[in-house]
Amino acid sequence: MFRLSQYMDQLHRPSPVRRRRGPPRPVVIWNLTRRCNLRCKHCYTVSADVDFPGELTAAQARETLEDIGRFGVPALILSGGEPLLRDDLFSLARRARALTRVLALSTNGTGVIGAKADRVAEIGFDYVGISIDGIGATNDAFRGVIGAFDQALAGVRSCKRRGIKVGLRFTLTEDNAHQLPDLLRLCDDEGVDKFYLSHLVYAGRGNKHRGDDAAHTPTRRALDLLIARAAASHEGAPPLEIVTGNNDADAVYFLDWAAARFPEDRVAHLRAHLEAWGGNASGVGVANIDTQGDVHPDTYWSDYTIGSVKETPFSALWTGDDPMLAELRRRPRPLKGRCGACMHRAICGGNTRIRALQLTGDPWAEDPACYLTDAEIGVAPGAERLTVRPFTGDRHDPQPWFT
């Protein structure tokens, strides 16, 4: 996750660079249930409004939560499916509140109303992220249910009324990129605290619809808008925390933006911060537990399982000798193609490896969603690059690099 507003602040109010000592404890994104009342086009968990067998029982979930707490994860994000549809969500959340420093809820927002919103407020979530992929009918088309936009907006308003920090989560594609200005306006009109732009990841339904991924030019325009909005907060506009996810090239794009406007020493300071961050954190600073209890390097790597919390505690799996985790934690990573030759890999970390894997079967191939030009990444002009082929049903061996 690239915290754009935070790095914008570094250009205006520099603070010392903090370097990690040893491997960090990961932020854990925990998909508590695959059940969901919506049917989103890009859903990476391929959720539906049915019971899915094999999900963690209340006792297994509770045991996992205690282990996570003892392990000392800095943040826990309860997600789904739609997490509010899990019966023991509030009992788990109440215990999680006591065990983790930062507790967040990732929801489609349609159920954060009335008594449920009261309980969310009472538990004291640090943040509630609500997914909205466009205004009105655009959102509803993405989410597969008419009225989903109005319901999600009601959820946003419920949170605001109860003093809960709330953010909009927007997945950028060809079909909704034009509505980004409206979404930012909506944030300001509703007093939303945070805006998260996710680039499309080719996983679950997102892989089937990868042909809809925003092309490089609209992606750059989207970043221009976000940077302008983050800058405006330093010029009197209301505060709006802006973050992006799943395309760490955003950090390099922002560095170039800063280099054209700020003195050299400030830009060098920003670069030092970005290198300390290091870009893609799959398997390092982020971990995923899916609804079945399987642990993955991040939410999109459902094809690669480190182990199951039904058999082994999360803490033991994460600190064990899993070969893919060891690879992801290597520095520098064994990147290939444009990513291997890129002069900014120390900032970006090679971006989102699952996209490379889905297109080529090789997790170390270049990320096809990098929208930076050859000149911007310091490679010879005209070098061949990977392009995104629409999904045709072909499938790579899920773990070809170990077989």
Is 223 among the residues that bind ligand SF4 (CB under 6 A)? no
Is 84 among the residues that bind ligand SF4 (CB under 6 A)? no
Query: Distance between CA 190 and CA 342 in Å, rounded?
Result: 40
CB 127 within 8 A of CB 194: yes
3-state SS of the chain: helix, strand, coil percent to 5? Answer: 40, 15, 45
CB of 4 to ligand SF4, least distance (A): 16
Is 350 among the residues that bind ligand SF4 (CB under 6 A)? yes
Q: Please, which residue, 325 or 370, has the CB nearer to ligand SF4?
A: 370
Q: Stretches 7-15, 40-48, 193-201, 334-342: which one binds ligand SF4 (CB under 6 A)? A: 334-342
Q: Stretches 52-60, 91-99, 129-137, 348-356: which one binds ligand SF4 (CB under 6 A)? A: 348-356
Q: Please, which residue, 35 or 344, has the CB nearer to ligand SF4?
A: 344
Is 345 among the residues that bind ligand SF4 (CB under 6 A)? yes
Within residues 18-37, the interface with ligand SF4 by CB under 6 A covers none
Which residue, chain included where needed, has tokens 């409206």?
182
Among positions 338, 354, 358, 368, the unique one binding ligand SF4 when judged by CB under 6 A: 338
Q: Please, which residue, 121 or 272, has the CB nearer to ligand SF4?
A: 272
Query: Distance between CA 153 and CA 94 in Å, rounded?
Result: 25
Q: Stretches 48-56, 196-204, 287-295, 362-370: which one binds ligand SF4 (CB under 6 A)? A: 362-370
| Three-point CA angle 272, 18, 248, nearest 5° | 55
Among positions 61, 117, 367, 391, the unique one binding ligand SF4 when judged by CB under 6 A: 367
Within residues 104-123, the interface with ligand SF4 by CB under 6 A covers none
Is 342 among the residues that bind ligand SF4 (CB under 6 A)? yes
For residue 67, what are the contacts with CB-CB under 8 A and spacing of at least 6? Answer: 309, 313, 314, 315
Number of residues that bind ligand SF4 (CB under 6 A): 16
Query: Distance between CA 238 and CA 243 in Å, rounded?
Result: 16
Q: Please, which residue, 246 or 305, has the CB nearer to ligand SF4?
A: 246
Burial zone of 14 (CB within 10 Å; 0-12 exposed, 13-18 middle, 19+ buried) = middle
Q: Please, which residue, 130 or 348, has the CB nearer to ligand SF4?
A: 348
Q: Please, which residue, 100 or 352, has the CB nearer to ligand SF4?
A: 352
Q: Please, which residue, 113 or 341, has the CB nearer to ligand SF4?
A: 341
CB of 18 to ligand SF4, least distance (A): 22
DSSP secondary structure string for all residues of 158-179? HHHHTT--EEEEEEEBTTTGGG
CB 28 within 8 A of CB 75: yes
CA nearest to 372, candidates 385, 362, 361 = 385
Cβ atoms within 10 Å, residue 181? 11
- Specify the amino acid at residue 55: E
Axis crossing angle, helix 180-190 with helix 216-232, rounded to the nearest 10 = 30
Site mask for ligand SF4 (CB under 6 A), range 233-262, x = bound: ---------------xx--x----------
Cβ atoms within 10 Å, residue 18? 9
Q: Please, which residue, 242 or 348, has the CB nearer to ligand SF4?
A: 348
Is 372 among the residues that bind ligand SF4 (CB under 6 A)? yes
Is 351 among the residues that bind ligand SF4 (CB under 6 A)? yes
CB 119 within 8 A of CB 158: no
Q: Please, which residue, 294 or 366, has the CB nearer to ligand SF4?
A: 366
Which positions lie near ligand SF4, rule CB under 6 A?
Answer: 248-249, 252, 338-339, 342, 344-345, 348, 350-351, 366-367, 370, 372, 377
